[in-house]
Structure 1
Amino acid sequence: MDYLISGITSITWQEFFMYVIGALLIYLAICKDFEPALLLPMGFGAILVNLPASGVLDQTLEGIGKTNGIIEWLFHVGIEASEALPILLFIGIGAMIDFGPLLSNPKMFLFGAAAQFGIFFAICVATLLGFSLNDAASIGIIGAADGPTSILVSQILKSKYIGAIAVAAYSYMALVPIIQPAAIKLVTTKKERMIRMPYNPKSISKTTRILFPIIVTFIAGLVAPQSVSLVGFLMFGNLLRECNVLKSLSETAQNELANLITLLLGITISFSMRAEAFVNISTLLIMCIGLIAFIFDTIGGVLFAKLLNLFSKQKINPMIGAAGISAFPMSARVVQKMSLKEDPTNHLLMHAIGANVSGQIGSVVAGGIVLKLVSDLIH
């Protein structure tokens, strides 16, 4: 009985705060259906790692010696030592993506680049607020709206804020339907949001679909070598999908592999959500800067579309630019929903998907560019 009481009395206010955070993430996952595959294990993991003398963490017991905690072991093996979990997840993501809408309208590639502006803006903000270059770069990548990329970049750069960065990245991904409409309306007029874009898809040959992931890997490897692990695995997954000779492997990557890695990644990243590392003013700043990065990515894509309209006869609905972030397919759905609200007969989904899958490539390449820039500046 004394042992049970001592466990309760040893809970600190910081640990109690993390229980609240964990409960909030679980609530958002179950009741609001916000990225449940990730927020649910992250929320439950946040509770597990903050229990006093938690058995999911390494500890030394009197008379027994050191014991290995499963979550700490998974973090070391799957993220810290190899970055395996976020990288392997990209095989499943690549197998899910149909790049057909993008290949039908290659102009959409531009939005995958333009919608990364918030990353570099946020890096500057974080640096001005006193974060180290490595931490600032890790925080800025939240703007990619890509959880695995955020985790990988922050781990490679040895950021001590990986837990806060992961929570911010996945939380803002889940909040796309709330954040993006407000940001889009801030920089567009009703008339611009009603611009119609007829969809006339071109026939994409099987050869083109097969060559695309191979060519993208080569180009990304030359432009941003540090992105090869992410882009390469993303494109490998897409190659499984498009080759049509490995259907069972493609389906496994899309379902069993993606689900298993997502589950493990969500609960493993909670190791970085221990109270002593998470509850501080820096975490609040990171959440704020991450939100700034996310908003400016959205605005950057929209403003770029408006810039193109100055030189184009065939006008682009500026909302398409917002879909250039990596939150696939949520961002494309947001654009479609907004277009139908303005004009029930205006369907922008396929255009938005083209920009959205471009953003998937753009985010991982941006991550590689950030790693290269930080490496060059340090040396």
Structure 2
Amino acid sequence: MITNAKDAIAAGASGFDQFVAVIGTPLMIAIACVLLYLAIVKKFEPLLLLPIAFGMLLSNLPMFANSGAIMMHTEFFTDPAYMIDGHLDMQRIFSEGGLLDLLYLGVKLGIYPPLIFLGIGVMTDFGPLIANPKSIILGAAAQLGVFLTFLGALVLGACIPAINFGVKEAASIGIIGGADGPTAIYVTKTLAPALLPAIAIAAYSYMALIPVIQPPIMKLMTTKKERCVVMEQLRPVSKTEKIIFPIVVTIVVALIVPDAVTLVGMLMLGNLAKECGVVERLTKTAENGLMNTITIFLGLTVGATAKASTFLTAETLGIIVLGLIAFCFSTAGGLLLGKIMYKLTGGKVNPLIGSAGVSAVPMAARVSQTVGQKENPANFLLMHAMGPNVAGVIGSAVAAGVFLSMFS
């Protein structure tokens, strides 16, 4: 393994490999500091971007790399030489691993993302989706970017030898288009763990940039007349409907896409706990203490896997470009179906709510509200956009389940 400039030269490595060996560590520290700036000053997804950036900083400090008590050994989780028959060598991890190795088990074993979905479920109101069931197809249409980017990653991997993207890597990259960080991490830790740092950082960075990425696409794909449409007020949703909804969704998803039920089931459990009103202590724990703790562990350990030798690669650049494409196509897919619904309903549906079909809750819905209100100050699209928005959460989890069932 090339670990420094002397090794790189002795091994006859390429110019790029030697470049990474010479300035890789300082460059990674600089990238970590930039991400910290974006999290603290610009407030770009700070709850996860800050621990991710600090984990990256820790793992690239030379003194940290020699500290066995806290060190992150990414090779324990990605290098077959450190595994037993393709499985984690748990005895080695427990005896030789550092603090972050132990915390990273929550990522590798698929524990953290479902627990985050539990907290998201507690904070989610499915009322707008129940009141307007048609909006679920807008959430489905916004997964267009997931599958188009999956195909694009396969083509890129086939055309550029330096970029090694197979079907598992392509599926992990494509899921960025769902605009759901925990889902992207959940898929990647199973299918392409070596790409986890780049995919996690790309996913959360683009989620934070939704207010920048989406409005130009929304204005390009819709007319002023369409953006000015004022939709009818949603009907009231009863408590009984809100209690039945998570139970029915869990059963349906389990029957159709069993691999998605881990994420969707935890999402619906959290929502059911909130809506039933009889387990207030549990909902407060899931929404606050548990959610915050898991967020710290997840961000810190994912960031710690981002070392120069694995992060500063052609694959990372490809992921950043494809991730942006995924977001753009997901937004476009929702808007396109929104325009179709506008036509079919005789102008009663504002196509802008289609862009909220990505699962960045509630940011994408707020963007729909902001763009719509700029065109018509009397327009209030937030609750209408929340329907596709929460449907997108379910849609991205289902898309993840499809990829996992096909390629894991």
| Structure-2-length-normalised TM-score | 0.85
Supply the RMSD in Å over aligned alpha carbons.
1.6
Q: CA deviation at 1:309?
A: 2.2
Match of 1:215 in 2: 248
Equivalent residue in structure 2 for 1:224, among 237, 257, 269: 257
TM alignment of 1:266-305, pairs within 5 A: 266-305=299-338
**Amino acid of the structure 2 residue aligned with 1:167:** I
Asked if residue 177 in structure 1 is aligned to residue 211 in structure 2, the reply is yes
**Amino acid of the structure 2 residue aligned with 1:299:** A
Equivalent residue in structure 2 for 1:69, among 98, 112, 115: 98
Assess if the C-alpha contact under 8 Å between 1:102 and 1:355 holds in 2: yes
TM alignment of 1:127-138, pairs within 5 A: 127-130=154-157, 131-138=165-172
**Amino acid of the structure 2 residue aligned with 1:165:** I
Match of 2:179 in 1: 145
**Amino acid of the structure 2 residue aligned with 1:124:** L
Match of 1:3 in 2: none
**Separation (CA, whole Å) in 2 of partners of 1:90 and 1:263:** 15
**Separation (CA, whole Å) in 1 of partners of 2:66 and 2:213:** 36
Match of 2:71 in 1: 57
Match of 1:63 in 2: none
Assess if the C-alpha contact under 8 Å between 2:143 and 2:395 holds in 1: yes
Equivalent residue in structure 1 for 2:367, among 334, 343, 347: 334
**Amino acid of the structure 2 residue aligned with 1:312:** T
**Separation (CA, whole Å) in 1 of partners of 2:218 and 2:173:** 23
Asked if residue 79 in structure 1 is aligned to residue 107 in structure 2, the reply is yes
Assess if the C-alpha contact under 8 Å between 2:59 and 2:72 holds in 1: no
Assess if the C-alpha contact under 8 Å between 1:138 and 1:159 holds in 2: no
| Structure-1-length-normalised TM-score | 0.91
Asked if residue 101 in structure 1 is aligned to residue 128 in structure 2, the reply is yes
Assess if the C-alpha contact under 8 Å between 2:124 and 2:390 holds in 1: yes
**Separation (CA, whole Å) in 2 of partners of 1:104 and 1:347:** 16
Equivalent residue in structure 2 for 1:261, among 289, 294, 299: 294
Q: CA deviation at 1:354?
A: 1.3
**Amino acid of the structure 1 residue aligned with 2:300:** I
Match of 2:36 in 1: 26
**Separation (CA, whole Å) in 2 of partners of 1:51 and 1:123:** 34
Q: CA deviation at 1:225?
A: 1.0
Q: CA deviation at 1:143?
A: 0.3
Task: List gaps (5 residues or longer) in structure 1.
Answer: 1-10, 60-65
Q: CA deviation at 1:312?
A: 1.7
Cα 1:344–1:54 change in 2 (3 A) is: farther
1:301-345 C-alpha deviation (Å, 9 max, x unpaired): 000111122322352111100001000000011111111111111
1:138-172 C-alpha deviation (Å, 9 max, x unpaired): 00000010000000001121342111010111111
Assess if the C-alpha contact under 8 Å between 2:353 and 2:384 holds in 1: yes
Q: CA deviation at 1:58?
A: 5.1
**Separation (CA, whole Å) in 2 of partners of 1:185 and 1:57:** 48
Match of 2:341 in 1: 308
Asked if residue 164 in structure 1 is aligned to residue 192 in structure 2, the reply is no
**Separation (CA, whole Å) in 2 of partners of 1:170 and 1:248:** 30
Q: CA deviation at 1:111?
A: 0.9
Q: CA deviation at 1:184?
A: 1.2
**Amino acid of the structure 2 residue aligned with 1:112:** G
Equivalent residue in structure 1 for 2:117, among 74, 77, 90: 90
Match of 1:245 in 2: 278
Assess if the C-alpha contact under 8 Å between 1:217 and 1:235 holds in 2: yes
**Separation (CA, whole Å) in 1 of partners of 2:192 and 2:102:** 17
Assess if the C-alpha contact under 8 Å between 1:18 and 1:46 holds in 2: yes
Assess if the C-alpha contact under 8 Å between 1:19 and 1:47 holds in 2: yes
Q: CA deviation at 1:71?
A: 1.5
Cα 1:122–1:208 change in 2 (3 A) is: same
**Separation (CA, whole Å) in 2 of partners of 1:251 and 1:54:** 40
Local SS of the residue matching 1:250: helix
Task: List gaps (5 residues or longer) in structure 2.
Answer: 1-20, 74-94, 158-164
**Separation (CA, whole Å) in 1 of partners of 2:129 and 2:284:** 22
Asked if residue 42 in structure 1 is aligned to residue 52 in structure 2, the reply is yes
Q: CA deviation at 1:86?
A: 1.1
Equivalent residue in structure 2 for 1:196, among 215, 218, 230: 230
Local SS of the residue matching 2:194: coil
Q: Percent identity?
A: 50
1:59-106 C-alpha deviation (Å, 9 max, x unpaired): 7xxxxxx7432122211x2111x2101111111000000111111111
Assess if the C-alpha contact under 8 Å between 1:72 and 1:271 holds in 2: no
1:175-222 C-alpha deviation (Å, 9 max, x unpaired): 1111111221221122221111122x3232222211111110111112
